[in-house]
């Protein structure tokens, strides 16, 4: 309750001027778009494995490899390939007629062509745009993220798109948040980060003195670091 009272006071007194959103799993429905991407690839390459069986293994493996990538323990190439290799091994499926490299290349090529957002995303952004400057900070790949933003209709809402690829460091590294604040000419006390990852988005931003709202799309355990929402439309009430 204390967090909510403090936050509402800050909003009503116009301390918050700039909103920084994560992209994947926050605005852009990564799981849905990823599933559609694999469905297309499996049909093209005649990979005969039930999509649900594949995704049940792939999704947690992918999250684990992204964590390693954020921590600079693996390279971008290792991320792209190893998550696939481990998934096919986990379901005991031997690929015939294609390679992991081919699947990976097609995945990167097709992923951003699917435009699905979380429910109410555009409605929420239209509402917030009237009061705030809005930007994106993403750990995703530069070219892919810009394509997602363009194809999904998000581009008109955001003044700056900041990617880890371009900056050279990933959230939660404070350097990417510092870069974002400098680029947008925003002070930490006037900035609010909204993202799905407690580790990367929320704690990274709070460490730098920013406010944060955790969109808990992964159903992570309850915490008291910041406000937690389960639906994006809650932002219309909190930030009005």
Give me the pLDDT at residue 96, please.
Answer: 79
- CATH number assigned to the domain covering 2-29+117-238: 3.40.50.1000
Average confidence (pLDDT) over 222-238 = 94
On whether the CB atoms of residues 229 and 215 are closer than 8 A, the answer is yes
Question: 39-60: per-residue pLDDT in tens?
Answer: 999 999 999 999 999 999 999 9
Angle, CA of 16, 20 and 26, to the nearest 5°: 125
Where do the domains of the chain lie? 2-29+117-238, 31-111
What is the pLDDT confidence band of residue 9, given thresholds at 50, 70 and 90?
A: very low
* Confidence check: pLDDT of 216 > 70: yes
- Smallest Cα–Cα separation from 196: which of 31, 82, 75, 40? 31
Tell me the pTM: 0.89
- The fold for domain 31-111 equals DNA polymerase; domain 1 (1.10.150)
- Spatial distance between the Cα atoms of 106 and 83, rounded to a whole number of angstroms: 14
* Confidence check: pLDDT of 7 > 70: no
Average confidence (pLDDT) over 7-25 = 78
């Amino acid at each position: 309750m204390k967090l909510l009272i403090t936050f509402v006071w800050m909003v009503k007194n116009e301390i918050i001027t700039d909103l920084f959103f994560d992209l994947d799993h926050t605005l852009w429905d990564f799981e849905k778009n990823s599933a559609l991407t694999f469905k297309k690839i499996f049909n093209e390459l005649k990979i005969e494995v039930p999509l649900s069986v594949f995704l049940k293994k792939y999704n947690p493996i992918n999250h684990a490899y992204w964590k390693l990538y954020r921590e600079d323990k693996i390279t971008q190439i290792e991320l792209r390939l190893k998550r696939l290799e481990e998934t096919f091994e986990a379901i005991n499926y031997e690929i015939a007629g294609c390679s992991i490299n081919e699947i990976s290349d097609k995945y990167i090529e097709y992923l951003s062509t699917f435009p699905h957002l979380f429910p109410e995303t555009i409605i929420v952004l239209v509402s917030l745009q009237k009061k705030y400057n809005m930007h994106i900070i993403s750990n995703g790949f530069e070219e892919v993220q810009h394509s997602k933003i363009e194809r999904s209709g998000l581009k008109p809402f955001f003044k700056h798109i900041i990617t880890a690829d371009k900056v050279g460091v990933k959230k939660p590294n404070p350097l990417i948040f510092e870069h974002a604040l400098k680029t947008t000419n925003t002070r930490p006390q006037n900035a609010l980060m909204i993202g799905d990852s407690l580790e990367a988005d929320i704690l990274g931003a709070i460490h730098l003195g920013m406010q944060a709202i955790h969109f808990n799309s992964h159903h992570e355990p309850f915490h008291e670091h910041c406000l937690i929402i389960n639906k994006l439309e809650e932002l219309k009430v909190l930030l009005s």
